[in-house]
Amino acid sequence: KPYIFLPQAFGPFTSLSSRRHIASSFRYAAMICARDDESHQHLEKLTGSIPNLFKFGDFTNLSEGLVPDSFDVRQRWACIVPNKNMLNMRNSSTAWLPRYEIMLVEAITCYRERGLKPFFLNHEGAEDGALISRVNEMLSHSIPVIVESDPIAVKGIIGGSEAVLSSRFHACINAMSQGIPCVGTSWSHKYVALYDGYAASSLLLQPENTYEDLKRIIDLSLDKDSEL
C-alpha cells in the first residue's frame, strides 16, 4: 500500500534512533509533504535529495467553518486557545515556562478592558483542559470554557469571534484564513513559518514581551484600519 505523509511539520530530530529510521525508511514512502522550508531541510539532511519529498502548505485553510447554534455571534467574543505544549519539554524556549500562564491572564484582562468577552476554547482535550482550569483559578472572575470536538464547529466558533489569541497551530490557521488577525505564541518553528506566510509576524508573542507590549500587539490585532 502507498504510504503518504500529509502536510505537517518535521523536526528537528534529536533522537539518534529517529534519525537512523528516517534516513533508511522515508525513501520508501509514496509521498512526503513537508509544510515549510525548515521542515523540508530537516528531512533532506537525513534522506538526501529524494524524488518523493515535497513542500506543500497546510490545506485546512480551504475548509468552511459552521457556527453552532449555541454560539451567539452578536457578542464581542475574544477566543483564547491555550496549548499544554507551551509548558512541556516540546517547547525549547524555557523562558515561556514562568511567563505563559501569566501572559494568558494579562491578555484576558486586556480584552476585558477593551469591552470584549473572553472565553477559553479547548482545542485539544484533557491536558489543555487542566491548563485552562489553572488559568481560570488565577482570574478574579473565571471565564467560560467551550469544549468542541467537531473541527468544523471549532472553525465556526473562531470565525464568529472578534479576536483570537491562540497557541494551537490549527486555531491560528482557522482565524487568519477567515481574515481574523490572530495573536499567537510559538513552541515550534512551524508557528514562525505560518506567521511569515500570512505576513503577520508582528502578532507572534515572545516570552520577554511585557504587559505594555502585549496590549500594543492586541490593539494592532483589533485595528480594523490596519494594513495587517
pLDDT tens for 159-174 read 999 999 999 999 999 9
List the strands of the sheet with 4-8, edge to edge.
4-8, 31-34, 53-55
For 12-21, 86-95, 128-137, which range has the lowest pLDDT when averaged over its residues? 86-95
Q: What is the C-alpha separation between 48 and 126, in angstroms, rounded?
A: 39
With a cut of 90, say whether residue 3 has pLDDT above it.
Answer: yes
Q: What percent of the chain has pLDDT over 90?
A: 85
DSSP 180-223: --EEE--SSHHHHHHHHHTT-GGGB--TT--HHHHHHHHHHHH-
Residue whose entry in the numeric block shows the C-alpha cell 496590549: 215
Q: What pTM was computed for the model?
A: 0.88
Q: What local confidence, expressed as pLDDT, does residue 44 receive?
A: 96
Looking at the DSSP bridge assignments, the partners of residue 145 are 120
The rounded distance, in Å, linking the Cα atoms of 202 and 194 is 12
Looking at residue 124, what is its pLDDT? 85
* Cβ-Cβ contacts under 8 Å for 37 (sequence gap 6 or more): 55, 193
3-class secondary-structure state, position 165? strand
Sign, CA torsion 4/66/200/198: positive
Q: Residue 123 in 3-state DSSP?
A: coil
Q: How far apart are CA 20 and CA 5, in angstroms?
A: 18
Would you say residue 187 has pLDDT above 90? no
Calpha distance 34→211 (Å, rounded): 36
In terms of residues, how long is the chain? 228
Phi, psi dihedrals of residue 132, rounded to the nearest 5°: -60, -45
84-102 residue pLDDT tens: 999 987 787 888 999 999 9
Interstrand relation of 163-166 and 117-122 (parallel, antiparallel or unpaired): unpaired
pLDDT exceeds cutoff 90 at 59: no
